[in-house]
């Protein structure tokens, strides 16, 4: 992509943009160049959205028109010019300098090494007004939208081809060749049909899985604040072009690479790009050598990083694939996503089974030969047995089932961003929960003030202590970023709570701000739990401070009483801290407020006058306590993480029922800092609550829990939570309140702030894992039964009980449909009452394998027994039906077939079995099929034998597994 760049030469056309109709605030424009050019139409739409005052725009490549809704101030000629520019009209002379026009940007500029002004000039951006909309439109047409490349999925033909090159297919091919060589042309044709049918089914399921997976990482970013034509507006991220002026505010995700031209206390979290977990301070004046690494380019901001504090103004230098993160993606683009742990495990299981089966097949063939059977027949049996017994596509089973799980979650408003997140969800052992906003509603209210030794409820703020109360609330209001918005107050809940209390006392926010204009501010930061602002008004200078009570109090030397200022002696300090503890013990967030009249530098925060304590109440989110309880029942530890002090955290934990055994263990994060990692790993898992946590502590806590061997999920509201969310096995961004930053790094995005979504996600994660186990139990068990029949017969010296064609049929009829349906089982009612699976152990334990083989042996044994006396067709039908019946047993590991509280009915499974039964009836009833399969007549005795062969194994296996169900309920599923 070009950085700005020359416009492509397009022939000038006689027909240009026409206005089809114009109503105030609504225009329809037409241009033939839009026709049959969807990409140009999209560029036109984005360009029109970039005109200040435009609220909606659409452009159609079918009709060749564009529809715009806008403010009355937007003129038709302006829209015409912009649309024309977007469609390649040569630029008219515009206000840009010649230097800006030229932009010979074939090779990337070293924007970070230039002064900001030079960069602005080179990019043709007026540092106050931003780009004119028409110029932006032209650049968009030339350089393309600001989008990152999407990874291409495999095509249907590629997937199909992959199916045809698998080992089972190669075996089938060999078997077909042998058939033809020995005169069995019909067999060869049938084998070909089986191969194609199987590959077709597999392609269809894998393709839909792939579509789901490709959609995973897509989160539409929110529009970003920018300047165009001298007006501030919200621009879609895709509409940004080099030279655009963007505004940086806390919580936004930087939408493109950009050169800073102004920055005030701007800090950015660049962990996505550099791995550095602490925010980096940016500086518009910074110029670094051309070869400086990304992490040191302090005059630049980069796409994909998050603004954590302060504000800034920057000029876009690169968009889309030309951004640093775009280039990294381009490097990674060709790489297929790594297999998830389950996919890897299943691949391994498949290979092992293949090996074992190979040996068995060779044995069957060898024994047959030794007994003097003709070798072509033995060869064919051995190969067909191999085909039938190899559970093909085991990794695909995992992929498909995981993808189905993801779709299920999407229906419940849970957005999963990585395939392996589904299986990890099922294994979560610890959930770290943000207190504010996740467990509490983050709707704060000032519930108490402590002034001059007295604790006051809101009704008493206007009483005798009014003077001190007003001083406190006034100071807190000045020391805040709250703004008046159309629908009340806009700002953080903590600050709005204080300002609202001030307003209720009759203070006028606008007047107060006008009297005391803010000159400087120092915000909260890592290791600094207070905010300070410096104001200068007619009455001189004023330093206002609010924050953690202990921190603020330590900087005070005087205190305000009802009768004026007094010294702050040790006794008064003690009384204040005692009041703080009492308020915190009532689950209030407590802030200390202080001021210094007469100014000075806010860096120099000393000699302040203590005004008092403010206690803010934040109601628990309805359902939070229930959600915590549900997590505990599910065998998952919960940990609450908060920046508040221990006493507040303790009180809220009590209300939530956070401890499992009645005793809340609170750990102060400050104590963690100096601990060696091993001590931390031993200590962290003991805690129920982490108090006074800073963003970098969060990362430390996640790491410590992981070091102790636990699978950790972590919720976050974003701005500074990025590194911790990324480090946790499962990072969860909570719905409405979450920032773009959080959404970008999270593995799971919940649509609502409701913790119920998290429980749902864990339930579905576990159910998906259980479903993969169910499919495995079915596939491995039934395939084993076929091997056992053939091996048993060979050992005993019987003729082969099943013909190659019958084995193929068995595999085609009894394997795929029920397996797919088992992968779609709804969660069992008690998944959330069991323990999470052990992520460190394989999905099938040795015990599991023994069980699967035993179940296969029972089914195979019954089929083998039926060969004594019953007509040969009964063995074939009996074995098929026994396998289908086995599918029902595979539905639950903890409940028997007839348990009332067993899994809910699965209509898909019933349907799948129905289809299989119909096919099986056709095998006997339709002449050509019957001949192909070499089936003789069945007769009443045959019916009876078939029924017995089908049902006896079900009963036997059912009884055996019932014996172990109780125990399984109390163990990890894969123990
Ligand atoms: P949490 O992670 O639980 O939301 P925060 O990090 O937001 O906690 O806040 C932690 C502490 O920082 C609070 O207990 C309070 O002492 C202080 N604090 C919070 N908001 C402000 C603010 N706007 N101004 C000053 N101090 C604040
Ligand atoms: Mg917070």
Taking the C-alpha atoms of 398, 400, 406 and 408 in order, what is their torsion angle to the nearest 10 degrees? -120
Question: What are the E-state strand segments in 386-539?
Answer: 414-416, 430-434, 445-451, 454-456, 483-485, 488-490, 518-522, 530-537
Residue 719 pLDDT level (bands cut at 50, 70, 90): low
The CA distance from 242 to 103, in Å, is 11
Q: What is the DSSP string of 346-399?
A: HHHHHHHHHHHHHHHHHHHHHHHHHTT--HHHHHHHHHHHHHHHS-TTHHHHHH
Cβ atoms within 10 Å of 608's Cβ, excluding its own: 25
Is residue 718 left, alpha or beta, with left meaning phi > 0 and alpha meaning psi from -120 to 50?
Answer: left
Task: Yes or no: say if 215 and 406 are a contact pair by the CB < 8 Å rule.
Answer: no
What is the predicted pLDDT for the residue at 101? 44
Shared domain check, 519 and 641? no
Residue 531 three-state SS:
strand
Residue 225's Cβ-count burial label (10 Å; 0-12, 13-18, 19+) is middle
92-106, 277-291, 526-540: the lowest-pLDDT one: 92-106
The CA distance from 801 to 872, in Å, is 7
Phi, psi of 76 (to 5 degrees): -65, -40
Phi, psi of 494 (to 5 degrees): -60, -50
| Residue 290 belongs to some domain of the structure | yes
721 lines ligand 1 (CB under 6 A): no
Shared domain check, 510 and 400? no
The CA distance from 740 to 735, in Å, is 10
- 436, 523, 620, 644: which to mutate for ligand 1, most atoms within 8 A of CB? 644
718 lines ligand 1 (CB under 6 A): no
Strands 488-490 and 483-485: antiparallel
The b-or-e profile of 641-676 (16+ CB within 10 A means b, else e) is: bbbbbbbbbbbbbeebbbbeeeebebbbbeebeeee
| Residue 143 belongs to some domain of the structure | yes
121-130, 637-646, 832-841: the lowest-pLDDT one: 121-130
Residue ending a domain, choose from 729, 751, 773: 751
The CA distance from 327 to 316, in Å, is 16
| Ligand nearest to the Cα of 440, by number | 1
Ligand 2 centre to CA of 727 (Å) is 19
523 lines ligand 1 (CB under 6 A): no
Shared domain check, 322 and 234? yes
Question: What are the E-state strand segments in 495-538?
Answer: 518-522, 530-537
Please give the C-alpha separations between residue 399 and each of 340, 394, 716, in angstroms, as whole numbers: 9, 9, 28
Shared domain check, 626 and 608? no
The CA distance from 217 to 744, in Å, is 9
The CA distance from 650 to 658, in Å, is 9
pLDDT at residue 146 tops 70: yes
Q: Residue 488 pairs with which residues in a beta bridge?
A: 485
pLDDT at residue 313 tops 90: yes
Q: Residue 281 pairs with which residues in a beta bridge?
A: 267
642 lines ligand 1 (CB under 6 A): yes
| Residue 368 belongs to some domain of the structure | yes
- Closest atom of ligand 1 to 549 CA is 16
Shared domain check, 272 and 353? no
Task: Tell me the average pLDDT across 332-341.
Answer: 62
Task: Tell me the average pLDDT across 458-465.
Answer: 90
494 lines ligand 1 (CB under 6 A): yes
Q: What is the CATH number of the domain that holds 125?
A: 2.70.150.10
Residue 737 pLDDT level (bands cut at 50, 70, 90): low
What is the predicted pLDDT for the residue at 393? 63
How is residue 544 written in tokens? 């206002």
- Closest atom of ligand 1 to 480 CA is 23
pLDDT at residue 347 tops 90: no
Task: Yes or no: say if 805 and 880 are a contact pair by the CB < 8 Å rule.
Answer: no
Shared domain check, 793 and 732? no
Nearest to 61 by CA among 42, 88, 85: 42
Shared domain check, 945 and 796? yes
Question: What order of strands is seen across the sheet that includes strand 54-59?
Answer: 18-23, 26-30, 65-70, 54-59
Residue ending a domain, choose from 313, 332, 351: 332
Ligand 1 centre to CA of 591 (Å) is 8
Q: What is the DSSP string of 807-820?
A: HHHHHHHHSHHHHH
Indicate the length of the chain as a whole number: 975
Task: Yes or no: say if 650 and 588 are a contact pair by the CB < 8 Å rule.
Answer: no
Task: Tell me the average pLDDT across 500-513.
Answer: 93
| Residue 190 belongs to some domain of the structure | no
User: Which residue's C-alpha comes closest to atom 12 of ligand 1?
Assistant: 529
Task: Tell me the average pLDDT across 579-598.
Answer: 94
What is the predicted pLDDT for the residue at 295? 85
| Residue 849 belongs to some domain of the structure | yes
**Mean per-residue pLDDT over the chain, rounded:** 85
The CA distance from 56 to 811, in Å, is 56
- 308, 432, 439, 494: which to mutate for ligand 1, most atoms within 8 A of CB? 494
More confident residue, 738 or 680: 680
Q: What is the CATH number of the domain that holds 714?
A: 3.40.50.1000
Q: What is the CATH number of the domain that holds 604?
A: 3.40.1110.10
191 lines ligand 1 (CB under 6 A): no
168 lines ligand 1 (CB under 6 A): no
Residue 108 pLDDT level (bands cut at 50, 70, 90): low
Ligand 1 centre to CA of 676 (Å) is 27
Residue 216 pLDDT level (bands cut at 50, 70, 90): low
**What pLDDT, in 10s, does the model give residues 902-912?**
888 899 999 99
| Residue 684 belongs to some domain of the structure | yes
- Closest atom of ligand 1 to 642 CA is 3
pLDDT at residue 104 tops 60: no
- 547, 595, 651: which to mutate for ligand 1, most atoms within 8 A of CB? 547
Task: Tell me the average pLDDT across 55-67.
Answer: 92
Residue 7 pLDDT level (bands cut at 50, 70, 90): very low
The helix (run of H) or strand (run of E) holding residue 699 is helix 695-707
Phi, psi of 269 (to 5 degrees): -90, 115
Looking at the 3D structure of the chain, how many domains does it have? Answer: 5
714 lines ligand 1 (CB under 6 A): no
529 lines ligand 1 (CB under 6 A): yes
Ligand 2 centre to CA of 523 (Å) is 14
What's the DSSP call for residue 291? T
The CA distance from 671 to 678, in Å, is 14
The CA distance from 171 to 150, in Å, is 37
**What pLDDT, in 10s, does the model give residues 626-635?**
999 999 999 9
Shared domain check, 713 and 823? no
The CA distance from 755 to 632, in Å, is 14
Shared domain check, 428 and 365? no
Q: What is the CATH number of the domain that holds 56?
A: 3.30.70.100
What is the predicted pLDDT for the residue at 179? 76
The CA distance from 890 to 778, in Å, is 6
What is the predicted pLDDT for the residue at 736? 63
547 lines ligand 1 (CB under 6 A): yes
- Closest atom of ligand 1 to 589 CA is 14
698 lines ligand 1 (CB under 6 A): no
The b-or-e profile of 455-469 (16+ CB within 10 A means b, else e) is: ebeeebbeeebeebb
| Residue 896 belongs to some domain of the structure | yes
The b-or-e profile of 499-528 (16+ CB within 10 A means b, else e) is: bbbbeebeeebeebbeebeeeebbbbbeee
First CA to last CA across the chain, in angstroms?
A: 53
Residue ending a domain, choose from 572, 600, 617: 617
Q: Residue 28 pairs with which residues in a beta bridge?
A: 21, 67
| Ligand nearest to the Cα of 643, by number | 1
What's the DSSP call for residue 620? B
589 lines ligand 1 (CB under 6 A): yes
Residue 448 pLDDT level (bands cut at 50, 70, 90): very high
- Closest atom of ligand 1 to 479 CA is 24
Ligand 2 centre to CA of 381 (Å) is 68
Please give the C-alpha separations between residue 621 and each of 435, 586, 761, in angstroms, as whole numbers: 10, 17, 19
User: Which residue's C-alpha comes closest to atom 9 of ligand 1?
Assistant: 643
Shared domain check, 322 and 344? no
- Closest atom of ligand 1 to 481 CA is 23
- Closest atom of ligand 1 to 531 CA is 25
User: Which residue's C-alpha comes closest to atom 21 of ligand 1?
Assistant: 547
Ligand 2 centre to CA of 304 (Å) is 22
User: Which residue's C-alpha comes closest to atom 18 of ligand 1?
Assistant: 547
Residue 683's Cβ-count burial label (10 Å; 0-12, 13-18, 19+) is middle
Ligand 2 centre to CA of 437 (Å) is 8
| Residue 526 belongs to some domain of the structure | yes
Nearest to 620 by CA among 590, 648, 639: 648
Shared domain check, 777 and 897? yes
528 lines ligand 1 (CB under 6 A): no
Task: Yes or no: say if 657 and 628 are a contact pair by the CB < 8 Å rule.
Answer: yes
User: Choosing from 434, 548, 688, 754, which is the catalytic residue?
Assistant: 434
Is 604 an annotated catalytic residue? no
The CA distance from 391 to 349, in Å, is 10
644 lines ligand 1 (CB under 6 A): yes
Question: In which domain, by residue range, is 50 found?
Answer: 18-103
The CA distance from 382 to 632, in Å, is 52
- Closest atom of ligand 1 to 546 CA is 25
771 lines ligand 1 (CB under 6 A): no
How is residue 823 written in tokens? 């992968």
Count how many Cα atoms sit within 13 Å of the Cα of residue 785 in the half-sphere of its side chain.
36
How is residue 519 written in tokens? 């000159």
How is residue 318 written in tokens? 């690169």
Cβ atoms within 10 Å of 366's Cβ, excluding its own: 13
User: Which residue's C-alpha comes closest to atom 20 of ligand 1?
Assistant: 494
Residue 712 pLDDT level (bands cut at 50, 70, 90): very high
Shared domain check, 892 and 774? yes
Which positions ≥6 away from 515 have C-beta within 8 Å? 537, 538, 539
Nearest to 588 by CA among 440, 694, 434, 696: 440
pLDDT at residue 355 tops 70: yes
Ligand 1 centre to CA of 628 (Å) is 23
Ligand 1 centre to CA of 643 (Å) is 6
């Amino acid at each position: 992509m070009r950085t700005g760049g020359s416009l492509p030469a397009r022939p000038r056309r006689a027909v240009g943009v026409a206005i089809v109709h114009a109503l105030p605030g609504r225009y329809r424009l037409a241009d033939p160049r839009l026709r049959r050019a969807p990409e140009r139409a999209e560029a036109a739409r984005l360009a029109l959205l970039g005109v200040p005052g435009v609220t909606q725009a659409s452009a159609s490549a079918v009709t060749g028109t564009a529809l715009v809704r806008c403010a009355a101030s937007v003129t038709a000629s302006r829209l015409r010019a912009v649309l024309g520019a977007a469609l390649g009209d040569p630029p008219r002379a515009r206000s840009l300098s010649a230097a800006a026009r030229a932009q010979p940007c074939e090779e990337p500029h070293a924007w970070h090494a230039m002064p900001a002004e030079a960069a602005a000039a080179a990019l043709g951006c007026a540092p106050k007004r931003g780009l004119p909309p028409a110029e932006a439109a032209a650049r968009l047409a030339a350089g393309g939208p600001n989008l990152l490349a999407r990874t291409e999925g495999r095509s249907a033909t590629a997937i199909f081809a992959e199916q045809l090159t698998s080992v089972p297919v190669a075996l089938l091919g060999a078997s077909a060749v042998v058939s033809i060589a020995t005169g069995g042309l019909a067999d060869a044709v049938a084998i070909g049909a089986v191969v194609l049918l199987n590959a077709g089914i597999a392609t269809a399921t894998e393709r839909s899985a792939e579509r789901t997976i490709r959609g995973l990482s897509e989160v539409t970013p929110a529009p970003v604040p920018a300047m165009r034509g001298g007006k501030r507006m919200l621009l879609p991220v895709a509409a940004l072009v080099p030279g655009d002026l963007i505004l940086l505010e806390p919580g936004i995700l930087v939408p493109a690479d950009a050169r800073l031209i102004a920055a005030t206390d701007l800090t950015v979290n660049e962990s996505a790009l550099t791995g550095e977990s602490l925010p980096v301070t940016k500086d518009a004046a910074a110029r670094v050598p051309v070869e400086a690494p990304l992490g040191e380019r302090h005059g630049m901001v980069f796409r994909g990083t998050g603004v954590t504090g302060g504000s800034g103004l920057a000029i876009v230098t690169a968009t889309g694939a030309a951004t640093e993160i775009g280039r990294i993606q381009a490097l990674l683009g060709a790489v297929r996503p790594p297999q998830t742990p389950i996919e890897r495990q299943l691949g391994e299981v498949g290979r092992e089974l293949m090996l074992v089966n190979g040996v068995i097949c060779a044995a069957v063939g060898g024994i047959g030969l030794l007994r003097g059977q003709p070798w072509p027949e033995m060869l064919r049996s051995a190969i067909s047995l191999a085909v039938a017994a190899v559970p093909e596509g085991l990794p695909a089973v995992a992929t498909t089932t995981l993808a189905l799980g993801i779709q299920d979650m999407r229906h419940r408003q849970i957005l999963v961003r990585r395939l392996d997140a589904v299986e990890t969800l099922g294994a979560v052992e610890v959930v770290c929960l943000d207190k504010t906003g996740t467990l509490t509603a983050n709707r704060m209210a000032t519930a108490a003030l402590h002034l001059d030794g007295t604790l006051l409820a809101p009704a008493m703020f206007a009483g005798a202590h009014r003077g001190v109360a007003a001083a406190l609330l006034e100071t807190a209001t000045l020391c805040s970023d709250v703004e008046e918005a159309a629908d009340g107050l806009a700002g953080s809940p903590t600050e709005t709570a204080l300002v609202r209390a001030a307003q209720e006392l009759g203070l006028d926010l606008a007047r107060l701000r006008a009297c005391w204009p803010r000159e400087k501010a120092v915000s909260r930061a890592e290791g600094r739990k207070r905010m300070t602002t410096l104001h200068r008004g007619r009455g001189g200078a004023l330093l206002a401070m609010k924050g953690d009570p202990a921190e603020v109090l330590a900087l005070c030397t005087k205190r305000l009483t009802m009768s004026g200022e007094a010294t702050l002696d040790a006794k008064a300090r003690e009384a204040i801290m005692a009041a703080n503890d009492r308020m915190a013990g009532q689950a209030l967030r407590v802030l200390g407020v202080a001021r210094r009249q007469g100014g000075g530098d806010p860096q120099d925060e000393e000699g302040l006058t203590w005004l008092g304590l403010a206690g803010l109440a934040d109601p628990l989110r309805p359902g939070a306590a229930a959600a915590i309880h549900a997590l505990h029942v599910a065998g998952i530890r919960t940990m609450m993480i908060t920046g508040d002090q221990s006493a507040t955290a303790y009180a809220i934990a009590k209300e939530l029922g956070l401890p499992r055994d009645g005793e809340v263990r609170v750990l102060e994060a400050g104590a963690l800092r100096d601990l060696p990692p091993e001590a931390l790993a031993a200590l962290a898992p003991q805690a129920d609550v982490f108090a006074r946590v800073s963003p970098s502590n969060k990362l430390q806590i996640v790491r410590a829990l992981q070091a102790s061997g636990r699978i950790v999920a972590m919720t976050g509201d974003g701005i500074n939570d990025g590194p911790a969310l990324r480090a946790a096995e499962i990072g969860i961004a909570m719905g409405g309140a979450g920032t773009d930053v959080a959404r970008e790094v999270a593995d799971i995005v919940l649509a609502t702030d409701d913790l119920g979504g998290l429980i749902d996600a864990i339930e579905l994660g576990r159910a998906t894992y259980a479903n993969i186990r169910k499919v495995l139990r079915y596939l491995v068990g039934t395939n084993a039964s076929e091997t056992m029949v053939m091996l048993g017969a060979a050992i005993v010296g019987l003729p082969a009980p099943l013909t190659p064609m019958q084995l193929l049929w068995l595999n085609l009829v009894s394997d795929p449909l029920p397996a797919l349906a088992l992968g779609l089982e709804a969660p069992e009612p008690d998944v959330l009452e069991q323990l999470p699976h052990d992520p460190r152990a394989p999905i099938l334990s040795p015990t599991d394998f023994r069980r699967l083989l035993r179940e296969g042996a029972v089914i195979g044994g019954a089929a083998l027994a039926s060969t004594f006396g019953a007509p040969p067709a009964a063995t074939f039908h009996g074995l098929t039906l026994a396998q289908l019946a086995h599918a029902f047993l595979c539905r639950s590991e903890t409940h028997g077939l007839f348990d009332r509280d067993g899994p809910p009915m699965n209509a898909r499974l019933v349907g799948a079995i129905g289809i299989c039964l119909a096919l099986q009836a056709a095998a006997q009833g339709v002449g050509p099929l019957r001949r192909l399969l070499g089936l003789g007549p069945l007769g009443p005795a045959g019916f009876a034998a078939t029924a017995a062969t089908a049902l006896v194994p079900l009963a036997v296996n059912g009884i055996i597994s019932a014996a172990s169900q109780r125990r399984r309920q109390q163990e990890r599923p894969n123990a």
